[in-house]
Structure 1
Amino acid sequence: MKHHPATAWLTEAAGAAQQQGAGNLLRVILIVMVLGSAFTAWFLLRGYKRKDD
């Protein structure tokens, strides 16, 4: 059975967290949160650039 590419990094991150503690997992979570926040801000603010003529 083929694994979905999106789940592969999750299992890899979970394996790394078990070997090296929670520090790396928290780092990954923080990076994903920052990138998600930036993407959300870009998505919401891009509508303000449009002019309604």
Structure 2
Amino acid sequence: MPHMTGLTTELLAANAKHDGPGVLLRTIIVVGVVGAVLLAWFLLRGYGGQD
């Protein structure tokens, strides 16, 4: 293996710590589900109590 410079070593170390888009996608999914539940509750609450 060729000699690695300090910059290459730092880039490899930073890349090893990177988790990818997992946290972002998880946040988007959770916010979307919570938003859908709140929207459904808001829209359906008007139908209760009307006889």
TM-score (norm 1): 0.58
More relative contact order in 1 or in 2 (CA 8 Å, sep 6+)?
1
Specify which structure has the higher proportion of helix: 1
Q: How does 1:1-53 map to 2 (within 5 A)?
A: 19-51=18-50
Higher radius of gyration, 1 or 2: 2
Residues in 2 aligned to 1:46 and 1:34: alpha-carbon distance in whole angstroms? 18
User: Unaligned stretches of 5+ in structure 2?
Assistant: 1-17
The secondary structure found in structure 2 opposite 1:26 is helix
Q: Which runs of 4+ in 1 moved over 6 A?
A: none
The secondary structure found in structure 1 opposite 2:50 is coil
TM-score (norm 2): 0.60
